Structure 1
């Protein structure tokens, strides 16, 4: 099983695409701005090159971890030490991959695991930070919802694209 860098790269761009829709004023953008105290004037003062550049960088970091969350075979690969150790792996690894190499490798299964990752990782992290920042539940649900949707789509792409 080879690492699909192109799928990871495309998945990393999903955060931008979902963000453009999710934080649009006609969707959740107006509510989000109210909950954060953001104004259009303040938003325009931001360094967009820095914001979008770092967003892409951090999204790529996140996308590199998603295969371990959504592709079951990554666990077997990890057990032999990684791709560089496949040639020296015991015959049981080759037999396992022959039997289960494509098992659960679908867009739907990846979406399920991506959704679960968002629900059980992104939501608690967002909620904990937001509670200490004394943010509202609207703020928590808007931001966590963004990550749940993004990770669901990222998981689908990375798991299903072989």
Structure 2
């Protein structure tokens, strides 16, 4: 029976949600993201359809981040990763490299709007930091 730390999983979920809010905010990459997506912040703020879509998106994101943290906790347990922040970070990064990068990059390359290296870097970089951070937390806090 594999045991996982549910407090650490909950913490990873919350941290990934906060990371996403910061990542796509004007503080980090939000302004560039909005330009590359050919969107307008002001229109987005005042459009009720966008607000409804965002609410649904946050709910789905929370569930996905929770699932990601649960799976990462099991990866760490199954691989007998030592109780180390650095080993957990490496496992998180390798998971991103092997699963996320390899699935998201082709999606960006085949985008109907054409490939944008900047947009790909923003969208693919977020889960790299998130998975690496979750791995570090789960590796150290078991």
Q: Same fold (TM over 0.5)?
A: yes
1:54 maps to: 60
Q: What is the CA–CA distance in structure 1 between the aligned matches of 2:70 and 2:24, rounded to whole Å?
A: 24
- What's the TM-score, normalizing by structure 2? 0.83
Report the RMSD for the aligned CA atoms in angstroms.
1.9
Question: How does 1:116-155 map onto structure 2 within 5 Å?
Answer: 116-133=94-111, 134-155=114-135
Cα distance in 2, alignment partners of residues 43 and 55 from structure 1 = 19
Residue 26 of structure 1: aligned partner: 27
Q: How many angstroms does 1:23 deviate by?
A: 1.6
Of structures 1 and 2, the larger Rg is shown by: 1
CA 108–33 in structure 1, closer or farther in 2 if over 3 Å, else same: same
How far, CA to CA, are the matches of 1:125 and 1:43 in structure 2? 28
The alpha-carbon deviation at position 42 of structure 1 amounts to 4.5
Consecutive unaligned residues of structure 2, counting only runs of 5 or more, are none
Tell me by how many angstroms 1:112 deviates.
Answer: 1.3
Work out the CA distance in 2 between the residues paired with 1:143 and 1:118: 12
Q: How does 1:1-162 map to 2 (within 5 A)?
A: 2-44=3-45, 45-47=50-52, 48-69=54-75, 71=76, 73-75=77-79, 104-133=82-111, 134-162=114-142
Give the deviation of 1:130 after TM superposition: 0.9
Scaled by the length of structure 1, the TM-score of the pair is 0.74
User: What is aligned with 1:78?
Assistant: none
Instruction: Provide the secondary structure at the position in 1 that maps to 2:39.
Output: coil
Aligned length: 134
Whole-Å separation in 2 of the counterparts to 1:119 and 1:34: 27
The list of structure 1 runs, each at least 4 consecutive aligned residues, that deviate by more than 3 angstroms after superposition, is none
Instruction: Identify unmatched segments of 5+ residues in structure 1.
Output: 76-100
